[in-house]
Structure formats: C-alpha cells, structure tokens
Structure 1
Amino acid sequence: MLAVRRAAASVARITGVPLQRPKCDKARGMVDNPRFAGQSGTVMTDERERVERILAEVHDDFGMIRVLEVEDYRFLEFGDAIEQSCTFTADPSWLEYDYTRAMLIGALCHEAPESALFLGLGAGTLTQACMKFLPLEDVEVIELRPDVPRLAMEYMGLDDDPRLYIRIGDALDLLDSTEPADLIFVDLYTDVGPGVGHLAWNFLHGCQQRLNAGGWLIINQWATDDGKPLGAALLRGLYHRHYWELPVKEGNVILIVPADLDQTLDIEALSLRAEALTSRLGYSLDSLIKSVRPAT
C-alpha cells in the first residue's frame, strides 16, 4: 500500500503549532484540511458536514488538554487548538504524519532493539507502533503531564502492554534515573513549541550517554526557515557533526544520532528492514529514507 497522500494545501508544523483539523478518510488514503468554514464543533467539507466531538477536556498546571474526534480519527490537543497527535481509531499503531514515520525510520536503524525510552508520550501512536513492529522487550516512558497517559489509554488506543512502564515527571530531571536503552526518542513539546530540553546541551548529551552500544537517539526537532534543525550549531558541536537528518513536510527535522563516533548508518540495511515491514505497516517508508542526509 502506498504512503498517505496529502492534498495540495500545506500542512502546518506538527507538534506545538496550530493546525487546521485534517480529515482522514476511512481508507487512510488522503489527508486534507477542510476546517475552513462552519460553526464551532463542525468541520465543513465538499462532501458533507463532519461533526467534531469533544471526548475529554482536562486542565492541569500546564493548561488544557483536549481529545476530539472527527469520524475515524481522534486528536490530542494542548491549549487552544495546538494539535499534538492524531490517531486512527481502527488501528492506533497507524502513523498518520511523516514526522512519526521518520522517527520510526530512526528506530529501524537498529538491527534488533530490545529496549526503548520515550521522552514525551503524546497520544502514544509512535510508542504503540514501536511495540507492534519492533522486537522490544522493555519500553519506558517519561511524561510530564499526569493526564496524558490516562487519556492516551482511554481515548487514543494506547495498549496497557506489560512491556510498557510510564513515569510522570520532567524528563530533564528523570533522565539520569532511566535504564540505558537501545533507542531513545526525544519529543518534548508544549502548547507553545519545543521544550527547553531540545536545546539543552547537558540534557541532549545525557540522552546520547544513556544509549546502549549500537543504540540510536531520535529527536523530533523543529526546522528553521533554511531547512536546518533548530539549534543546528549547538547540535553540530555536541555530536561532532556525526548524525543524520530527515526533513519532513510538516516543518520538522528528525535527528538520528548514533551512540558513538564509530557507529555509522547503513542505508541499505535500513531500507531492507523498512521494506520487510511494508505490508504490515500498510505504507512504504522508501521515499522518506531517500531524504536522509548528513548533518547540516
């Protein structure tokens, strides 16, 4: 099956920037941006009126968290329409956006990962996909907001998998207490953008140091206007230019960082692992893999 096709309308940066609500059809074959007219709670399209339902809304020390549903899709929002995640309710492991697929590509750089650490949970779609498609035995999650894991399990389809354990707290404070892992994902966004960890030298260095030998650190970084990752100069200095980048259409750059300077990225082996998963994923990762580039 081909990867998700998107309409010509541009898609805003995912995670931390306001988005128009995408409409995703039942075949998962198209995403467009129909929320251009109509009253609150209604999505207008050329086909028919689509009702947007609020399933849950909670308030905590950091603001509002909301779960909405539009037909077969559910959306996790922080603050005022700041979309964090999209889940296809029939298959919560389906990765709707290219940035999550690119992060999965980062995970596939490892031949056989047994452990993963997720710094930031969101709706849990990437976590769910990794548990389904990778041979993981232990999955640790650090999430800042206590209600996020509950909402992810209650509304977004995150499994209460025995391999999964979640701790609540600030990833910058808890990193040193985490178990070393084969894969570490950094996706720490708020309703105003990336958390401070995305530009924190000691934290990002610590993430790399928590990797097992042969492990990979995958960071969801904003892209600047020139297409480089946010904090490119800091990243080049910290990781000695020894990492790879995968830019995606949502306006993010996924960083793929090895555990040490002797470790290289085998694109051919990565492509073979991705190809072997295509039928199970329901989409191809080939076009994204072709966009992998050295550090800029």
Structure 2
Amino acid sequence: MAILQRIRQLGEWLGLRPRGEQEREVERLRDDFGLIRVTELGELRYLFFGEQTEQSCGLIGDPAWLEYDYTRAMLLAGYWLEDTQRVLALGLGGGSLVSAVLTHLQPQQITAVELRPGVVEVARRWFGLPDDPRLTVLIDSAEKVIEREQASADLVLLDLYMEGGITALQLRMDFLEQCHAALRPGGLMVVNQWQLGHTGQPYAAERLQKLFGDRYLQVEVEEGNIVLFIPQAGELPLDQDTMRRWADSLEPQLGYSLRPYVEVLRRAEDAIPAADCQ
C-alpha cells in the first residue's frame, strides 16, 4: 500500500511540471545498472533513471540552483554548521545539491560518492558539475566507501536512489549506523527519506529511532519526502525565530527562501507514530 501511495504522490508532483512545451531528449545512454536519460523542458533539465523515474532537475545555466523542495530543505544543515571543513555526499545524481553546497555552504572539501559511472558523466556534461579543487568524485558503492570513513566528515548527505526508488541500503540499520559514525564531533547527518504514505513518518522510522532516539529533526516536503537532520551527539537546537533570520540572510544569494522548511521543522517525537517499513 505504501508503494502505491508513493506512486500517486509522484504522479501529483510530476503534474506540476511546465505544460505547453515539448519535452525533448538530449541524451540516452546505458551503463551496467540500466538506462540513463537527460531531457529538457523550458529552462529545466531532467535526469531520468530508466524511462520514467525522474531523479534530478537542474536550471540550465545555473548548476547550483535547487529545484526540488527536498534538496532545498537539506541546505538547512548550514544553520548548525558554521565552519564546514569536509562534506561526504552519498549519491550524486545530477549534482545540483553538491554544487549548491559548494557555492552556499563553502566547505573546504567535499567528497561525492556515486555508484554509476554514467551518472557522473551526465552530471558533468549536462548539469554543470564543477571542476572544483575542493570536489572529489568517487565512482564506488557507498557501502564500501563508508567502511573507510570514521569521524571524518562534518556533514554527511545521504540520498541513495535508483530506478526503483530508495535503495535497500539506505534502510539498513548497520549502514545508517556507519554513516553516523563517519561524523566528527559536532557533525550532522542529513537523510533524504521517503515518507510512509501521508503519515508524517519516514521509511524505517522505528529503526531510525532505535539508532538515534526521537529528538532528531525532520522536515516534510511537497514531493512526499521527509528530510532528517541527525546530529553526531545530543540534539540540535530548534530556534525557529533565529532560523528565519538566517534563512532571510541567505535568500538573496539562493534566489529562493528556506523559510517554508524552517516553518515545518519539528522533532521526530512530534510526528504521528507509524509501523516500520521493511
């Protein structure tokens, strides 16, 4: 039932895409994991896994622009991390989030991990993934890379999706625990997770709470995703008045406001309980 609800959510979301213009395919290639497509519609460029699974969206000519709500919400991490030395991004996609983090959070170093060579290829060719000395892209599995990472990152971004949706890896307790162990003291893990229907609960909610308690923060966004903010230790302060002012200070350079995500930021314990999803 949760999968059917998710399909309906995606259908509603895709219905908001620009109409009246003809979408055109500009690239089609295959790697060992399947078909990769790139299309254009108006000012936007889309990355698809397979024929139908929309994975990324970028604004042509502005690689750091974030079109999806869930990626914009993930930038809230910058509020708690004033000095970000190293970022570990698990999952690259079109690279818009990585580009935005480089531009707006100004880390000293960011390592992006992507399983599919073809995805890295199109991210560079079509989505403007920058040739920046601060950026290292590893073509490898997140599972292998995270085994080598211990207390090495100030920020871990977890966004692992394939053609069929969220990867099983991102729901595994041992993997989530390893990702969390990659944080330095004071660090933050941000996870883009599917929502269980319309419950306000992320997939693997019970597992997440067993690992991290119920005081981490989360944001429910329009696409139906829930973005989780899990600190290395303790709990994140939730001062929405101060966060609103911080969001307002960023708006001129972002071109959009992060206030909508500040307004719906809440503790996991305040979400409606739901059964765990296997």
Q: TM-score over 0.5 for the alignment?
A: yes
Question: Taking structure 1 as reference, are residues 219 and 121 closer, same or farther at Cα in structure 2, changes over 3 Å only?
Answer: same
Given that residues 223 and 230 in structure 1 are in contact (C-alpha distance below 8 angstroms), is that contact kept between their aligned partners in structure 2?
Answer: yes
Partners of 1:82 and 1:18 in 2: CA distance: 12
**Structure 2 counterpart of 1:222, from 168, 185, 194:** 194
**Structure 1 counterpart of 2:247, from 254, 274, 277:** 274
Query: 1:1-296 maps to which residues of 2 (within 5 A)?
Result: 12-13=9-10, 19-20=14-15, 22-23=17-18, 34=19, 45=20, 50-178=21-149, 180-225=152-197, 226-261=199-234, 264-295=237-268, 296=271
Partners of 2:13 and 2:121 in 1: CA distance: 23
Deviation at 1:153, TM superposition (A): 0.9
Deviation at 1:258, TM superposition (A): 0.3
The alignment yields a C-alpha RMSD, in angstroms, of 2.1
Partner residue of 1:28? none
Partner residue of 1:31? none
Q: What runs of 5+ residues in structure 1 fail to find an aligned partner?
A: 1-10, 24-33, 35-44
Partners of 1:18 and 1:197 in 2: CA distance: 25
| Larger displacement relative to structure 2 (53-62 or 76-85) | 53-62
Instruction: Look up the SS of the partner of 1:51 in the other structure.
Output: coil
Aligned partner of 1:289: which letter? V
Aligned partner of 1:166: which letter? V
Deviation at 1:142, TM superposition (A): 0.7
Question: Taking structure 1 as reference, are residues 77 and 262 closer, same or farther at Cα in structure 2, changes over 3 Å only?
Answer: closer
Aligned partner of 2:171: which letter? L
- The number of residue pairs the alignment matches comes to 261
Partners of 2:13 and 2:251 in 1: CA distance: 31
| Larger displacement relative to structure 2 (196-205 or 186-195) | 196-205
Deviation at 1:286, TM superposition (A): 0.9
- TM, length-normalised to structure 2: 0.88
Deviation at 1:263, TM superposition (A): 5.0
Question: Taking structure 1 as reference, are residues 197 and 109 closer, same or farther at Cα in structure 2, changes over 3 Å only?
Answer: farther
| Larger displacement relative to structure 2 (172-181 or 280-289) | 172-181
Q: What runs of 5+ residues in structure 2 fail to find an aligned partner?
A: 1-7, 272-278
Given that residues 217 and 236 in structure 2 are in contact (C-alpha distance below 8 angstroms), is that contact kept between their aligned partners in structure 1?
Answer: no
Aligned partner of 1:213: which letter? P
Partners of 1:176 and 1:197 in 2: CA distance: 13
Instruction: Look up the SS of the partner of 2:129 in the other structure.
Output: coil
Instruction: Look up the SS of the partner of 1:276 in the other structure.
Output: helix
Deviation at 1:195, TM superposition (A): 0.7
Aligned partner of 1:121: which letter? L
Partners of 1:186 and 1:13 in 2: CA distance: 20
Higher helix proportion, which one? Answer: 2
Aligned partner of 1:175: which letter? I
Partners of 1:156 and 1:262 in 2: CA distance: 35
Partners of 1:107 and 1:217 in 2: CA distance: 12
Given that residues 216 and 235 in structure 2 are in contact (C-alpha distance below 8 angstroms), is that contact kept between their aligned partners in structure 1?
Answer: no
Question: Taking structure 1 as reference, are residues 143 and 79 closer, same or farther at Cα in structure 2, changes over 3 Å only?
Answer: same
Deviation at 1:12, TM superposition (A): 3.9
Partners of 2:160 and 2:194 in 1: CA distance: 11
Question: Taking structure 1 as reference, are residues 21 and 145 closer, same or farther at Cα in structure 2, changes over 3 Å only?
Answer: farther
Question: Taking structure 1 as reference, are residues 193 and 111 closer, same or farther at Cα in structure 2, changes over 3 Å only?
Answer: same
Partners of 1:278 and 1:21 in 2: CA distance: 23
